[in-house]
Chains A and B, each alone.
Chain A
């Protein structure tokens, strides 16, 4: 198999791409390529990964212009006709160095969106009973498997156009809480996601749903939040 022509982003926001030749292998993932460069060609390359099996959400990068989880992305799936691979840090986040972005702005939006569960029960109370096939529980099931990789945030053009925008992942999280029968702060959640930076700012590009490696559709949750906000507003609750 011929070598891969890999271009990797080096430096901070003012940096640029450096070229590397990496041996092509069968079933090679993009993370394998980055690891080869760091271990065999240039030990100063900074990148982030942990589990390598699509659970931790730490290895997301921009591969040939598209945000992806690199540990589960096969080179054969993303390579172009010339065998070229361009690997850059996630968009819309400050670059610490090379392929490592500062994820703080991404997770700060979860906090700003009121993404914390608020319950009324204590450990001394009995378990809450939530029927598994209830519509609310099904809606939560469809949205709950987020691994916090930031792919949706990096893919969302509304994030680029409105830096205060809470982003798809944070809004998806709030959607699961608003659907949660045990959560007692529904109106607080809805207040946190209203306004210029909230769910109404979504332009329905559907890029988040298109790119989410876990096949979650934050657009569904954002639409649900808009409906919930409309209902609460009409009832005079907000």
Chain B
């Protein structure tokens, strides 16, 4: 048998992706990539402690300003989105389901929104 492994002739554009499942994928992927990009910065910040408690304390005080608080809130939202998106995928893959994937998506985005709001109120 001949298997035709081919280059796709025409690709999907944005019009074919206007549905909840694709948005859920996009949110999960974008939040994941953004968190991965943040990780080196996170490790660098932690590494300040290697130069003594004063260096870390100085750095933490330096970040104690509105812009960083806003960025921290964004980070929590990204984490919440990525976690709830991941739980959604796990539910899709391991629970018997059929017609409630959009409900699941709404629950995951809703849960992420609640976490984001809760953190913003606690700031």
Contact = CB atoms under 8 A, between A and B. Distances in A.
Size range of the chain A interface in the assembly: 35 or more
B21 A65 contact: no
Given A205-B25, A210-B19, A164 B10 contact: no
B68 interface: no
B9 A93 contact: yes
B16 A92 contact: no
B7 interface: yes
B19 A92 contact: no
B11 A160 contact: yes
Contact of A223 (B8, B11, B93): B93
A186 to B, nearest CB: 19
Contacts of A211: 16
B17 interface: yes
| The 7 A-B residue pairs with the shortest CB-CB distance in the complex, in nearest-first order | A206-B21, A65-B15, A105-B4, A92-B8, A13-B9, A210-B19, A91-B10
Interface of A: 13, 62, 64-67, 88-89, 91-95, 101-102, 104-105, 108, 111-112, 142, 154-155, 157, 159-160, 163-164, 203-207, 209-211, 217, 219-220, 223, 226-227
Interface of B: 1-17, 19-22, 24-25, 89, 92-94, 97-98, 101
